[in-house]
């Protein structure tokens, strides 16, 4: 109520944090559950049989793939929640 | 009559020792041995988790998720019953921020001003790096990791995750700091769902403290000199006026013998890691770390007043209501916990 309005830095942290942080947690949970059932080496064998990868590459790529997708979703949510700018804003009243 | 609150705040070093102990636990965890092997090794490369002689295979994912669910519900129940003690005493963000603060203070005491900033950053960087190595050591045998470090023969993924986690530690504890709790932490936002008026938190006894203000020394506390406690409405009115001077206008001037026990020394605000003024009432950003309790108790002791102007107790107890242990949320969380434990016992035994 009496708190000063957040500074530009705080706003930026809030915006980027609201996109990156929940998506990081969601990607972490998704990776744990997904890789508990799926072995990245088997996935590679059926998807890219001609290339060889290590499990670490599979896990890391999987995690960052999940994080990219969840962050993208968070970013679109953030974008849609911004107030709509109407074209009429520029027109004089009356 | 009401159950007395914990009026004597624990000495401040108690929190420091707990933080140091929890950090030491994290840093020694990958070094513990069990039957000649690393006791805690989440070997995702071999697709097996070793936890103190207990091995989880990919098919045991249900057990792992159940274990996480039990820990989550226990944390919710703890927060419901005892307040945000996780945030103030055990959360990694709090522990590392406190460790970084301690490094900053130690460096500024020991070094000339020109060297302080680079030395602090260097020490923060080294601690972050060691945190990254310890974290990766939970996934890849740490003895080999540390032995290989001087020869730079880590695999690309070990290097990447050590640096990633080191950067995350430095970013959270050295750069974002209290912003993490204020703006980013989902658990902080969940507090209103878990707590109710019977949940303890850090509270200011406005009836005893108001009207606040500096006064000549040797006057004695309100209880000692017979002014007594204000009625709740007047006390809240004074606290509101002090918190919102633009809205409420200037405070009336009081003679020294009518003043409450708050000397307006602002020690509570300077001690608070979030820079909150606890006298403005319960606030969502308060981590319940108890730094203000210790700072206030020290000032009150110095002024010759009794302790307990700031207290860790529930709003109900503060208003003199009896404490109630069993509330709807207590029963819901406890039933959930017991159900999960019963499922786990049935699955494992």
Q: What is the pLDDT of residues A42-58, one digit of tens each?
A: 888 888 888 888 888 88
Q: At which of B148, B167, B194 does a domain end?
A: B194
The answer to whether B184 contacts chain A (CB < 8 Å) is yes
Q: Which residues of chain B have pLDDT under 70?
A: 1-12
Number of domains comprising chain B: 2
B163 lies in some domain: yes
Asked if residue B116 and residue B22 are part of one domain, the reply reads yes
Q: What is the reported pLDDT for A2? A: 43
Q: Nearest 5°: phi and psi at B315?
A: -55, -35
> Cα distance from A56 to chain B (closest Cα, Å)?
6
Q: Does B47 contact chain A (CB < 8 Å)?
A: yes
From the list B349, B25, B54, B327, the residue with the least C-alpha distance to B195 is: B327
Is the Cβ of A2 closer than 8 Å to some Cβ of chain B?
yes
Is B186 in the same domain as B53? yes
Establish whether the linkage from the previous residue to B235 is cis, with ω within 30° of 0: no
Contact A13/B161, CB-based, under 8 Å? no
Size of interface A-B (CB pairs under 8 A): 53
In a domain, B325, yes or no: no
Exposure string of B232-243, with b = 16+ CB inside 10 Å and e = fewer, is eeebebbbebbe
Output the pLDDT for position A93: 65
A-chain CB neighbours of B179 within 8 Å are 10, 13-14, 17
In a domain? residue B331: no
Confidence of residue A86 (pLDDT cuts 50, 70, 90): low
Same-domain status, B120 and B48 = yes
- B32 touches A: beta carbon within 8 Å: no
B280 domain-assigned: yes
CA distance B184 to chain A (A): 6
For chain A, the straight-line distance linking the first and the last C-alpha, in angstroms and rounded, comes to 36
Q: Do B157 and A57 touch (CB under 8 A)?
A: yes
Answer yes or no: do B93 and B177 share one domain.
Answer: yes
**Spatial contact of B145 and B154, defined as CB atoms under 8 Å apart:** yes
Q: Kindly state whether residue B8 falls inside one of the protein's structural domains.
A: no
Interface with A, mutate which of B183, B247, B279 (most A CBs under 10 A): B183
Write down the residue that tokens 């242990």 correspond to: B325
Residue A52 pLDDT:
83
Q: For residue B152, what pLDDT is reported?
A: 73
Question: With an 8 Å Cβ cutoff, are B44 and A22 in contact?
Answer: no
Is B183 in Cβ contact with A17 (below 8 Å)? yes
Q: Which pLDDT score, from 0 to 100, does residue A30 have?
A: 93
Residues B190 and B207 in one domain: no
Does a structural domain hold residue B219? yes
Do B29 and B170 belong together in one domain?
Answer: yes
B residues 280..309 contacting A (CB < 8 A): 280
Residue B322 included in any domain: no
Q: Do A2 and B64 touch (CB under 8 A)?
A: no
Whether B94 and B84 have beta carbons less than 8 Å apart is answered as no
**For chain A, domain boundaries:** 26-80
Domain end, chosen from B162, B194, B226, is at B194
Q: Is residue B182 located within the same domain as residue B74?
A: yes
Q: Are residues B22 and B133 in the same domain?
A: yes
Are B189 and B224 in a shared domain?
A: no
Asked if the C-beta of A39 comes within 8 angstroms of chain B's C-beta atoms, the answer is yes
Residue A28: exposure state from Cβ atoms within 10 A (0-12, 13-18, ≥19):
middle
CA distance A13 to chain B (A): 8
Last residue of a domain, one of B168, B194, B220: B194
Residue B101 is part of which domain span? 13-194
Same domain, B109 and B251: no
Whether residues B179 and A10 touch (CB distance < 8 A) is answered with yes
Judge whether B175 is closer than 8 Å to chain A, CB to CB. no
Do B185 and B52 share a structural domain?
A: yes
Instruction: Assess B275–A contact: CB distance below 8 Å, yes or no.
Output: no
Q: What is the CA radius of gyration of chain B?
A: 25
Q: Are residues B189 and B209 in the same domain?
A: no
Q: Angle B328-348/B61-82 helices, nearest 10 degrees?
A: 160
Q: Do B61 and A25 touch (CB under 8 A)?
A: no
Residue of A nearest to B248 (CA): A2
């Amino acid at each position: 109520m009496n708190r000063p309005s957040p500074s530009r830095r705080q706003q930026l942290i809030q915006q980027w944090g609201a996109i990156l942080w929940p998506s990081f947690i969601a990607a972490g949970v998704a990776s744990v559950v997904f890789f508990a059932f799926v072995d990245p080496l088997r996935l590679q064998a059926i998807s890219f049989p001609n290339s060889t990868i290590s499990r670490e590459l599979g896990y890391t790529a999987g995690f960052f793939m999940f994080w990219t997708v969840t962050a993208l979703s968070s970013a679109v949510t953030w974008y849609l929640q911004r107030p709509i700018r109407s074209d009429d804003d520029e027109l004089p009243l009356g | 009559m009401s159950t007395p609150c914990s009026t004597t705040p624990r000495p401040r070093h108690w929190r420091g020792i707990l933080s140091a102990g929890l950090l030491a636990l994290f840093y020694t965890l990958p070094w513990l041995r069990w039957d000649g092997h690393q006791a805690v090794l989440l070997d995702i490369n071999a697709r097996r988790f070793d936890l103190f002689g207990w091995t989880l295979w990919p098919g045991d994912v249900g057990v792992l998720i159940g274990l996480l669910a039990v820990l989550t519900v226990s944390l919710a129940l703890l927060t419901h019953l005892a307040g945000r003690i996780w945030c103030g005493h055990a959360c990694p963000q709090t522990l590392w921020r406190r460790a970084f603060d301690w490094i900053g203070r130690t460096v500024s005491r020991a070094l000339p001003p020109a060297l302080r900033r680079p030395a602090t950053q260097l020490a923060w960087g080294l601690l972050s790096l060691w945190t990254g190595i310890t974290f990766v050591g939970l996934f890849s045998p740490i003895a080999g990791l540390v032995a290989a470090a001087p020869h730079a023969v880590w695999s690309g993924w070990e290097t990447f995750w050590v640096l990633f986690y080191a950067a995350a530690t430095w970013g959270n504890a050295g750069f974002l700091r209290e912003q993490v709790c204020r703006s980013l932490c989902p658990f902080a936002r969940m507090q209103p769902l878990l707590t109710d008026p019977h949940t303890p938190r850090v509270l200011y006894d406005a009836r005893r403290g108001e009207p606040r203000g500096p006064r000549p020394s040797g006057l004695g506390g309100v209880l000692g000199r017979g002014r007594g406690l204000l009625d709740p409405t007047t006390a809240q009115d004074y606290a509101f006026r002090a918190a919102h001077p633009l809205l409420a206008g200037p405070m009336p001037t009081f003679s020294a013998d009518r003043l409450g026990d708050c000397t307006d020394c602002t020690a509570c605000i300077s001690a608070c890691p979030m820079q909150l003024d606890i006298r403005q009432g319960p606030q969502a950003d308060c981590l319940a770390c108890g730094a203000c309790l210790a700072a206030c108790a020290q000032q009150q002791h110095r002024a010759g007043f009794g302790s307990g102007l700031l207290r860790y107790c529930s709003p109900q107890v503060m208003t003199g209501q009896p404490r109630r242990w069993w509330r709807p949320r207590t029963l819901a969380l406890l039933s959930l916990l017991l159900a999960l434990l019963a499922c786990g016992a049935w699955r494992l035994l």
